[in-house]
Amino acid sequence: MMNMKNALNLNNLFLGLFVTVTTVIQAQKQTFDIASYSLPKGWEKETTASSLLVSKEEPEKDIFCFMQLYKAIPGTADSKANFDNAWESIVKKAVTIASPPEMQPVTTDNGWEIQSGYALFEGDDTKGVAMLITSSSNGKMVNLVILTNTNSYEKDITTFLESITLKIVPQANEGAGASSSKPAAANTIVRKEAYAFTTTNWDDGWVSTVQEEWVEVKKGSIKVLLHYPEKKADAYNSVLKDGDYTAWNILVAPRYSNMKNFEWKSIQSWESVSFIRADATEIATGKTVHIVLFKKHYSKGNGRYIEFITDSKTTYENEFGPYHNTEFDWDKTANMQFRNKFAVAPNDLLGKWSTTDYASISYYYVNTGGTAGTTATSTADDFTFLPGNNYQSNHYGASGMVGNMKFSSQSYKGKSIVENWTIRLTNRFQGAEEKFDSYFEAVKGGRALILKDKYGTIYSLVKQ
């Protein structure tokens, strides 16, 4: 195997990076995320939500080249720190590298500061060169990784690099990365609503307050934001990192500038843990703060993104403990999401509240693979609270083999006795009184009523 470090004219590859489109006559431009580029003739491309892969392989010659351009993600103000983080989290996880990267001179273009370096890699049957080019601008970074075992594609690599143009990223306080045009300070106001209780004072000193975009939980100088469910931020993503970056860009990034020390330290597991932290300037106050975005991905799907805001990393760790690279022992941090609880007053209940649930299991024959049928269970419950402390409730169920299901229903009427954290309903099963633990969970634009009976059955009810 040839010495790839000497065989490739690497300096030429790096120095041609990100020149403007007018300097070289190019083929038809294509776009990916904030980048435009031209695909070298005869090369393949594959696009995913997080990256663009441009590749060429010649198995008969045992040579290859892979160029992977990643979508823009949050970065720090230090371009070298961004490069180092990407080298550790992308390059070293892709191939085995024994030596640190050999850095090239830093360049700038169109507001982007470009760090680049390369090193030899070696696998079971393959040796080659790994190159990383990291471009940083205004709290964003774009990474390009090149893996090759030949100098035969040097001209095509150079052409591809020279074709790439990145859009200008505005300053964070000019809306960079923002998914909403709302002013940063507008989300900090207490939400005006008709419910009796908008604040909960906890025995351990924390205070929860309903706000427009989240529930704020505060104690001393520590502020915790329990973000309401957000469709794009909470959308399932099989790649944990991509999902976390999406949530960060939607829920967190628009409210900060001058981001530094950005780290993605999430843990993939059966119940994954999302953990991103950074230091930044809070646009609304001008204060320098330490931020942690956290989520415990519970198997039931009820995990919520939680944003911790403290004056320093030390303050955060003194309260919630240091980061650890396991999925366990996150209870104190994860349990903050359950402080989205507010007491219930009788007048808050007036109206109809309902919920539905469904589950099914499909069966298949082992020998043939043909379907053997499906069993399903479906329930629907509604509670209507009427003036004069009256109530009525209806409960419907269906279960069994699909096509031959059994149905049931039960209705009750009686009196409701409402206390701050409990509701007692008379004339339930066999005329007995039934007691429910009760509270409101704040959601975007309203409340969900949570009732839990003595058997542990939980009704998450929304108002009709």
Helix H or strand E segment including 246: helix 240-247
b/e burial code for range 204-222 (CB count within 10 A of at least 16 → b): eebebbbbebbbbbeeeeb
Q: What is the pLDDT of residues 6-46, one digit of tens each?
A: 334 444 444 333 333 333 334 568 999 999 999 999 999 99
Q: How far apart are CA 172 and CA 177, in angstroms?
A: 7
CA 12 to the chain's CA centroid: 38
Query: Per the structure block, which two tokens stand in for 292?
Result: 């942690």
Do 185 and 173 contact (CB within 8 A), yes or no? no
Predicted model pTM: 0.63
Q: How far apart are CA 218 and CA 210, in angstroms?
A: 12
Mean pLDDT in consecutive groups of 10 residues from the start of the chain, 464 residues: 35 38 51 93 92 94 94 89 90 89 81 90 85 92 94 91 86 40 42 82 96 96 97 90 89 87 92 94 92 94 95 97 93 97 94 92 86 91 96 95 90 94 96 97 94 94 93
Do 462 and 450 contact (CB within 8 A), yes or no? no
The confidence score (pLDDT) of residue 191 equals 55
Query: Is the domain covering 346-463 a CATH 2.30.30 domain?
Result: no
Do 366 and 344 contact (CB within 8 A), yes or no? no
- The SS3 of residue 100 is coil
Do 177 and 74 contact (CB within 8 A), yes or no? yes
How big is the chain by its Cα radius of gyration, in Å?
A: 28
- The SS3 of residue 228 is coil
The confidence score (pLDDT) of residue 190 equals 53
Domain ranges of the chain: 4-169, 184-339, 346-463
As a whole number of Å, the end-to-end CA separation of the chain is 71
Q: How far apart are CA 419 and CA 343, in angstroms?
A: 8
- The SS3 of residue 253 is helix
Do 126 and 167 contact (CB within 8 A), yes or no? no
Contacts of residue 43, defined as CB under 8 A and 6 or more positions apart, other chains included, come to 54, 55, 56, 156, 160
Q: Which CATH class is domain 4-169?
A: alpha beta
The confidence score (pLDDT) of residue 25 equals 38
Task: Fill in the amino acid letter for 284.
Answer: A
Residue 336 DSSP code? G
Of 252, 100, 112, nearest in space to 177 by CA: 252
